[in-house]
């Protein structure tokens, strides 16, 4: 076959983008294509920003071009992640959900799921329609925190497809891997299987119209986080940390991960959980067990919004254990702390949305 632009594009048109399920030419993922007498230079974009995904695409491009035009041909191929703005043009997932916000933490044990449950409950109290995806595959907590352990989502046929209907509790729609597994058994899945399960909770579920869909992520930085960003156009992420230095170091890595090229998820803000201990018998006292203002100082240093302090009090744990998050209490110090968190969260999420709309209008 003659080496020319038309023939090169024909060969590239046979290469599928694995996540978007169409060929890279149809998706306009090929750019800067330059063709010489015995050389080809090009840039290809892929959905998954992970190194292994970019490497596989590079190998596929070079293999197919050499198969048709000869092994001696020189190929200079660069593979990059699709920019975050471009991803949204390719994906039609959850068009009726106004805001998809992930809740993340650099390490486990900082109260990320507790913050997710109370943030969601506070949004419902404020009049918003809200759903939660419990994407913490290996340690799902949301069923316990909303007293729906043992519940199973129902199925409904919609547009000739069977869709999962989330579990309803306290005005929220909930979906968790915990609904599909035995509570007492460990979930022993490799990364790709866990990522596939997460994807199905978005693509195979009918959420309807929501103001906010909160995604409770596993702790750390890994495959599931990358899979989420490549599958769903996140509108923002909230990072949860305690004030202690070991947690702050991981929170810093989490913030930097979401700022990476190929991810670029806006940081809605940083929450300092377990900011101080207040005993029930001394409600005015504050004991800074894990340090003071660590997350607040980190937010200021990294120039991200600070959403507030959440105290370490016994009623938060008790409320989560009985399946009614503490934010549903009336006029207690902890419910007021969560309500203030909700107000700041909504403002930051709206600011991000307005900025995106302004950018799109230009």
Confidence class for position 157, pLDDT limits 50, 70, 90: confident
Q: What's the helix, strand, coil split of the chain in %, to 5?
A: 40, 25, 35
**pLDDT mean over 220-239:** 76
- d(CA 117, CA 131) in angstroms, rounded, equals 10
**pLDDT mean over 162-185:** 85
- d(CA 243, CA 321) in angstroms, rounded, equals 24
> What are the pLDDT digits (tens) for 247-260?
999 899 889 888 87
Confidence class for position 99, pLDDT limits 50, 70, 90: very high
Confidence class for position 358, pLDDT limits 50, 70, 90: low
- CA distance to 23, 26, 29, 60, per residue, from 15 (Å): 5, 10, 11, 7
- d(CA 25, CA 17) in angstroms, rounded, equals 9
Residue 11 DSSP SS3: helix
- Whether residue 90 is predicted with pLDDT greater than 80 in this model: the reply is no
- Whether residue 195 is predicted with pLDDT greater than 70 in this model: the reply is no
- Residue 171 burial class via C-beta count within 10 angstroms: exposed 0-12, middle 13-18, buried 19 and up: middle
> What are the structural domains, with CATH classification, of the chain?
5-82 (3.30.300.130), 88-361 (3.40.50.300)
Q: Provide the pairing of β-strand 154-158 with 161-165.
A: antiparallel
- Residue 140 burial class via C-beta count within 10 angstroms: exposed 0-12, middle 13-18, buried 19 and up: buried
Residue carrying the six token digits 């913030």: 255
Sign of torsion, CA 298 300 304 310? Answer: positive
Q: Provide the pairing of β-strand 39-46 with 74-81.
A: parallel
Structure tokens at 184: 């007492």
Other CB atoms within 10 Å distance of the CB of residue 173: 22
- d(CA 62, CA 254) in angstroms, rounded, equals 34
3-state SS record for 179-233 = HCCCCCCCCCCCHHHHHHHHHHHHHCECCCCEEEEEEECCCCCCHHHHHHHHHCC
> What are the pLDDT digits (tens) for 108-147?
889 899 999 999 999 999 999 999 999 877 778 899 999 9
Sign of torsion, CA 322 325 328 332? Answer: positive
- Whether residue 89 is predicted with pLDDT greater than 60 in this model: the reply is no
- d(CA 237, CA 323) in angstroms, rounded, equals 25
- Whether residue 263 is predicted with pLDDT greater than 90 in this model: the reply is no
- CA distance to 258, 261, 298, per residue, from 267 (Å): 8, 14, 13
């Amino acid at each position: 076959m003659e080496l020319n632009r038309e023939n090169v594009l024909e060969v590239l048109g046979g290469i599928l983008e694995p996540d978007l399920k169409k060929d890279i030419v149809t998706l306009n993922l090929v750019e800067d294509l330059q063709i010489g007498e015995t050389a080809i230079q090009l840039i290809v974009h892929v959905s998954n920003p992970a190194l292994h995904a970019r490497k596989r695409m590079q190998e596929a491009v070079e293999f197919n071009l050499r198969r048709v035009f000869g092994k001696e041909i020189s190929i200079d191929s660069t593979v990059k992640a699709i920019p975050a703005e471009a991803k949204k043009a390719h994906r039609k997932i959850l068009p009726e959900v106004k805001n998809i916000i992930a809740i993340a933490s650099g390490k486990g044990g900082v109260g990320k799921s507790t913050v997710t449950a109370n943030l969601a409950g506070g949004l419902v109290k404020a009049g918003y329609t809200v759903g939660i995806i419990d994407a913490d595959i290996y340690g799902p907590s949301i069923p316990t925190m909303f007293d729906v352990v043992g519940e199973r989502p129902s199925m409904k046929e919609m547009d000739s497809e069977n869709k999962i209907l989330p579990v309803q509790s306290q005005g929220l729609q909930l979906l968790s891997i915990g609904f599909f597994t035995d509570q007492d058994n460990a979930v022993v899945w490799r990364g790709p299987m866990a990522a596939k399960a997460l994807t199905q909770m978005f693509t195979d579920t009918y959420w309807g119209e929501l103001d906010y869909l909160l995604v409770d992520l596993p702790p750390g930085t890994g495959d599931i986080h990358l899979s989420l960003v490549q599958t769903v156009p996140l509108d923002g992420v909230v990072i949860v940390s305690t004030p202690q230095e070991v947690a702050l170091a991981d929170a810093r890595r989490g913030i930097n991960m979401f700022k990476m090229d190929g991810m670029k998820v806006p940081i809605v803000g940083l929450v300092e959980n377990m900011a101080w201990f207040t005993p029930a018998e001394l409600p005015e006292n504050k004991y800074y067990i894990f340090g003071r203002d660590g997350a607040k100082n980190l937010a200021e240093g990294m120039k991200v919004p600070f959403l507030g302090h959440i105290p370490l009090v016994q009623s938060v744990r008790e409320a989560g254990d009985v399946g009614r998050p503490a934010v549903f209490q009336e006029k207690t110090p902890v419910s007021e702390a969560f309500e203030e968190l909700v107000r700041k969260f909504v403002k930051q999420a709206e600011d991000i949305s307005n900025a995106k709309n302004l950018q799109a209008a230009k």
